[in-house]
Structure 1
Amino acid sequence: MQPIIELKNIEFSYQPEEASPALNDVSFSIQQGEWIAIIGHNGSGKSTLAKTINGLLLPEAGSISVGGKELNEDNVWEIRRMVGMVFQNPDNQFVGSTVEDDVAFGLENQGIPRDEMLIRVKDALEKVRMDSFATREPARLSGGQKQRVAIAGVVALRPDIIILDEATSMLDPEGREEVISTIKKIKEASNLTVISITHDIDEAANANRILVMKQGKLVKEGTPAEIFSAGTELVQVGLDLPFPEKLKIALKERGVVVPDDYLTEERMVDWLWTSVLNK
């Protein structure tokens, strides 16, 4: 099956002859319907990578294909219609005086007929459970609600791919869970491809695959279980560990025999209950 996204030997620098390029020989592919998390410390190249995928930045070397089309200056607008982006601060994305006006903005720019626009706005707001807020001012919403409206604005455009560029980093835990739950439901209903650029290891755990960036290079790739089982190696590249993995390390230091495989929080609770607390 042809990948929906394919990067081959991508190079990008913000300054000519930069000693450490922002992206250095990066190659990977993504299949339709996958959820990919890209993690790494600040300055590792995560957000730069996201911006090359939708043509906000054009690489200096290498090639990018989206939907089977190689990205270039001639087709960049066509490819951007396939790739929706949700950014870190939803306030920077709002342009409408009401929630429904804001969701309609991108559709108006694309020249979508009014009848079709009304259907899409209503459908998008229902998908993010914000239809009852349609006539509210965006400024009066909570952080999680604002981000769900931002997602609705992207969903209304019906892209094939959604990129979350640190989209939950400014939210509290409840708002973060709200947004991730919304994306999960939309992804499953529409077979969307999701790329999550994140510092949040728990958010990354939702992915099918995780890509680890360091100093502009792709240094590790695998399932959440494969990546998180690396333990202290992940810390060495400037990243945190999910809480269950931290707990396993702490228990192991106290002489408790722990499972080798990666455990989600739910599986950790089950294991603690059946193997430790009931002994």
Structure 2
Amino acid sequence: MEPIIEINQIEFSYQEETNPALKNVSFSIERGEWVAIVGHNGSGKSTLAKAINGLHLPQKGTVHVGGKELSEETVWDIRRQVGMVFQNPDNQFVGATVEDDVAFGLENQGIERSEMQHRVQDALEKVKMQDFATREPARLSGGQKQRVAIAGVVALRPDIIILDEATSMLDPEGRDDVIATIRKIKEESELTVISITHDIDEAASANRILVMRDGELYQEGTPDEIFSEGPKLVALGLDLPFPEKLKAALKARGVTVPQNYLDEEGMVDWLWTSVLKK
């Protein structure tokens, strides 16, 4: 398949900083893929997301999105292909009601009213917020607010959604709900998803993980490949998923554990069949 995103040796520096925020970063993302980008604070994760969306133009190298090279001339075309959901949904709300807020981006694009109403309804149904259409966003819970923010992006029908620490302010239940919502929309609409996150459990939902360190792409692989390097992740200041912590504790007690990555459900199945039944 032809990549929907191609990053080729990009570099970017903020004026007030001496060290580059991004250094010679290259990778590609295929259409329909879910890629998580992880790393410590200051590793370049969010700067990389903004480079993909055209909020930062790289000072060296090239960014291609949907076959177009990012430039001052193409930036608005590229932004129509890429929707971003940020950490704090309150910073994205502009409408007096949920449906007004979801419609805001469509109004800015000059979408015809009947089409706009259809898209708003469809987006709210996708995130299970249709019963809250006339509510004030400020009166919603954190998870509900984030789902409305997602609906506002989904209504624009981008090819790519970037979650920029979008679950970091949610409790575990709210985080799982938002990730499940994105996964369902991805499957229905063939979306490409990029998840910028500190949350290793969220990263485990991805097809592939990119690990950033000090502005450079340090490592990439499947969750299986990345999480098998537990001590290296800890050395980078990253956490490990609970199943990997449990495997390490069992291994220290002499239990032979699976080499491949298991999510919590897989870990429960393995414990039941291989340990508890013996």
Is the pair's TM-score, using the shorter chain for normalization, greater than 0.5?
Answer: yes
- Report the counterpart of residue 225 of structure 1 in structure 2: 224
Letter in 1 for 2:12: F
The question of 1:8 aligning with 2:16 is answered: no
- Report the counterpart of residue 47 of structure 1 in structure 2: 46
Could you say what secondary structure the match of 2:183 adopts? Answer: helix
Distance in 2 of aligned mates of 1:265 and 1:172: 18
Which portions of structure 1, spanning 4 or more consecutive aligned residues, are displaced by more than 3 angstroms? none
Distance in 1 of aligned mates of 2:218 and 2:33: 20
Could you say what secondary structure the match of 2:168 adopts? Answer: coil
- Report the counterpart of residue 172 of structure 1 in structure 2: 171
- Report the counterpart of residue 96 of structure 1 in structure 2: 95
- Report the counterpart of residue 274 of structure 2 in structure 1: 275
- Report the counterpart of residue 122 of structure 2 in structure 1: 123
Deviation at 1:15, TM superposition (A): 2.0
Distance in 2 of aligned mates of 1:86 and 1:159: 12
Letter in 2 for 1:12: F
Distance in 2 of aligned mates of 1:102 and 1:229: 42
- Report the counterpart of residue 196 of structure 1 in structure 2: 195
Deviation at 1:19, TM superposition (A): 3.8
**For 1:73-152, what aligned pairs fall within 5 Å after superposition?**
73-152=72-151
Distance in 1 of aligned mates of 2:173 and 2:66: 34
Per-residue CA shift, 1:58-78, capped at 9, x if unaligned? 000000000000000001001
Distance in 1 of aligned mates of 2:172 and 2:233: 23
Per-residue CA shift, 1:155-211, capped at 9, x if unaligned? 000000000000000000111011001000000000000000000000000000000
Q: What runs of 5+ residues in structure 2 fail to find an aligned partner?
A: none
Distance in 2 of aligned mates of 1:88 and 1:119: 27
Could you say what secondary structure the match of 2:3 adopts? Answer: coil
Letter in 2 for 1:197: I
Could you say what secondary structure the match of 2:248 adopts? Answer: helix
**Normalising by structure 1, what TM-score?**
0.99
**For 1:195-214, what aligned pairs fall within 5 Å after superposition?**
195-214=194-213
Per-residue CA shift, 1:15-36, capped at 9, x if unaligned? 27x5421000000000000000
Distance in 2 of aligned mates of 1:260 and 1:116: 51
Distance in 2 of aligned mates of 1:166 and 1:260: 29
The percent identity for this pair of structures is 78
The question of 1:25 aligning with 2:24 is answered: yes
Deviation at 1:2, TM superposition (A): 1.7
Per-residue CA shift, 1:78-104, capped at 9, x if unaligned? 100000000000000000000000000
Deviation at 1:261, TM superposition (A): 1.2
- Report the counterpart of residue 233 of structure 2 in structure 1: 234
Could you say what secondary structure the match of 1:129 adopts? Answer: coil
Deviation at 1:259, TM superposition (A): 1.1
Could you say what secondary structure the match of 1:30 adopts? Answer: strand
Distance in 1 of aligned mates of 2:260 and 2:2: 31
Letter in 1 for 2:132: F
Letter in 2 for 1:30: I
Root-mean-square deviation (CA), in Å? 0.7
Could you say what secondary structure the match of 1:81 adopts? Answer: helix
Distance in 1 of aligned mates of 2:36 and 2:61: 22
**Normalising by structure 2, what TM-score?**
0.99
Letter in 2 for 1:8: N
- Report the counterpart of residue 242 of structure 2 in structure 1: 243
Letter in 2 for 1:236: A
Aligned residues: 278
